[in-house]
Amino acid sequence: MEHGMELFNFIELDLTTSIILILVGFVGGMVSGFIGSGGAFVLTPAMMTLGAPGMVAVASNICHKFPKALVGAMKRHKYGQVDVKLGLVMGVFAEAGVLTGKHVMTGIKHSFGAVGTDLYVSVMFIITLAIVGTFVFRDYRKLKNMSEEEQENVELTRIAKWVQSVKIPGTMFYSHAAKSELSFLFLIPLGFATGFLASAIAVGGFIGVPAMIYLLGVPAIMASATELVIAFVMGLGGTIFYGLEGAVDIRMAMLILFGSLFGIQIGAIGTTYVKDYQVKFTMALIMLTVLFSRFFYIPGYLSKLGMIAPLTADTAQKLKWIGDGVLYLALFVGAFTVISALLKGMKEHREQQAVLARASAAD
Amino acid sequence: MASSHASLGKTLFWGGLTAILYGFLFHYSDEFLRLAHTTVDACVVQKGVGVDYYHNPIPELCAEKGGTVVKGTWWYVFAPIAMAFALSYTHGLFTGLFWDVLGLKAKK
């Protein structure tokens, strides 16, 4: 590798690759609409599987998301679910996190090339998905065993109660989502961490949404809606920061957008037909599968970077195939779960309506 | 019936606009690539049909490869941003209408 000059092409886009990107976008959109946030975690690995360097995958993912986030935020603001102030304050600190994270990514690219960014993004993915996937899975198990009423009345956590009780003069603002005054000092680490993670894997909601729910005491629906404001701010900033490094591939971003906007509606409508714990199960399942797929690429990256003994071409190829296969399995599982939940729910709904119609006709 | 005709008309309109924008993007995809890569300083090497782009160009190394050093133009960064906004708007409207026309609706 020449020190200084780095070859940095975007991938060739033939018909097959383009169709795959559209389909991946479609599934990513469905999953995103269904679980409310972070459906994009299938998109970054998918782009990397197609050959895009980690940094370009992340940058292009961020680029396709931020206008969608704005549209989503505006829609949900109409339903009263968005706390604009909270979103903007966290957005500002998230921006600082994005900028810092982008510096880390660019530094890695400069010292280790595109492959270095592949390894960095994959490791960040593995850590994040492992923590969040396990947490969501445990949450799903808990919810499934609770009764309907208990699910409605999940209380504020102790931490959230404490955070809401802390008053630091000169730093307070009213959050209508948390229905309490909050000190913006709490938002600094949360916002920053959200932004830093987003700059590494293009998903910040994994920190932002749970943090708002469990640490600030914001109801889940408002947390995911407010997250859209943060995502827009981070996304616009991230696109500019990465764009200024020449890393945004608008072709990939827009192909994904093409499929994603079709899929997102299906996913969102699907949620009206299922229970909350089914959504969480889907989320956990896909996360853990994507996580598993990333493991198979790591030896290849380490070998290319000279950090381990070089792999034979045959071994490297086999590992990549397995990794690709597991990722496509994750996408298939995601698509299958959402579509079957939707179809089943719609069928039951139609049957219910038919029964009701027959009953009232018989009167 | 009148409302579904109106929806179909609107759907086709926004779908048409979206198609035009995508057509523009991919007809000029090489241009967009050039804009993206020359937002920063780059060494541009013509290789037959394709072009290789190197970041952090070093003039001597670049010359060795038969390429030209191009100075970065920072405001090229707005090209992908403008495209993303435009397509999100038109395609967002189109897909919403599309599913509506097909009868996919939320459970009340």
> Cα dist. A20→A259, A261, A325, A328, B74 in Å?
10, 15, 14, 10, 31
Sign of CA dihedral A119, A120, A122, A123: positive
Q: pTM score, two decimals?
A: 0.83
- A interface mutation test: which of B52, B91, B94, B97 has the most A CBs within 10 A? B91
pLDDT of residue A38: 60
Please list every residue in chain A whose beta carbon sits closer than 8 Å to the beta carbon of residue B44.
none
Distance of CA A33 to the CA centre of its chain: 11
Q: Tell whether A314 lies on the interface with B, counting CB pairs under 8 A.
A: no
Contact: B85, A67; criterion CB under 8 Å: yes
> Cα dist. A344→A276, A337, A349, B29 in Å?
15, 10, 9, 42
Q: B68: Cβ–Cβ under 8 A, 6 or more apart, which residues? A: B43, B44, B62
pLDDT of residue A254: 95
Please provide the size of chain B in residues.
108
Of the candidates B54, B95, B107, the beta carbon closest to that of A273 is on B107
Contact: A2, B22; criterion CB under 8 Å: no
The B42-47 sheet, strands edge to edge: A6-7, B50-55, B42-47, B68-70
CA dist A163 and A218 (Å) reads 11
> Mean pLDDT, to the nearest integer, of B70-87?
92
Q: Where are the alpha helices (DSSP H) in A36-53?
A: 43-49
On whether the CB atoms of residues B8 and B43 are closer than 8 A, the answer is no
pLDDT of residue A25: 92
pLDDT of residue B5: 66
Low-confidence residues of chain A, pLDDT below 50? 1-2
Please provide the size of chain A in residues.
363
pLDDT of residue B2: 47
Contact: A240, B95; criterion CB under 8 Å: no
pLDDT of residue A16: 93
Please list every residue in chain A whose beta carbon sits closer than 8 Å to the beta carbon of residue B84.
63-64, 66-67, 239, 250, 253-254, 257
Phi, psi (degrees; rounded to nearest 5) at A271:
-65, -25
pLDDT of residue A240: 94
ipTM: 0.89
Distance of CA A251 to the CA centre of its chain: 20
B21-30: pLDDT as tens digits: 999 999 999 9
Size of interface A-B (CB pairs under 8 A): 129
pLDDT of residue B4: 64
pLDDT of residue B3: 56
**Angle at CA A95, nearest 5°, toward A92 and A99?**
150
CA dist B36 and A189 (Å) reads 32
- Are β-strands A172-175 and B50-55 bridged in parallel, bridged antiparallel, or unpaired? unpaired
pLDDT of residue A248: 93
Contact: A261, B25; criterion CB under 8 Å: no
Q: Tell whether B29 lies on the interface with A, counting CB pairs under 8 A.
A: yes
CA dist A15 and A362 (Å) reads 57
DSSP code at position A175: E
Contact: B84, A10; criterion CB under 8 Å: no
CA dist A136 and A123 (Å) reads 20
pLDDT of residue A28: 87
Please list every residue in chain B whose beta carbon sits closer than 8 Å to the beta carbon of residue A240.
77, 81
pLDDT of residue B1: 47
Contact: B36, A6; criterion CB under 8 Å: no
Say whether pLDDT at B73 is over 60.
Answer: yes
Q: What is the DSSP string of A291-306?
A: HHHHHTTHHHHHHHTT
- Are β-strands A172-175 and B68-70 bridged in parallel, bridged antiparallel, or unpaired? unpaired
Largest interatomic CA distance in chain A: 84
- Which helix (H) or strand (E) is A349 found in, with range? helix A313-362
CA dist A178 and B83 (Å) reads 36
Q: Tell whether A356 lies on the interface with B, counting CB pairs under 8 A.
A: no
Buried b (16+ CB within 10 A) or exposed e, A121-140: bbbbbbebbeebbebbbebb
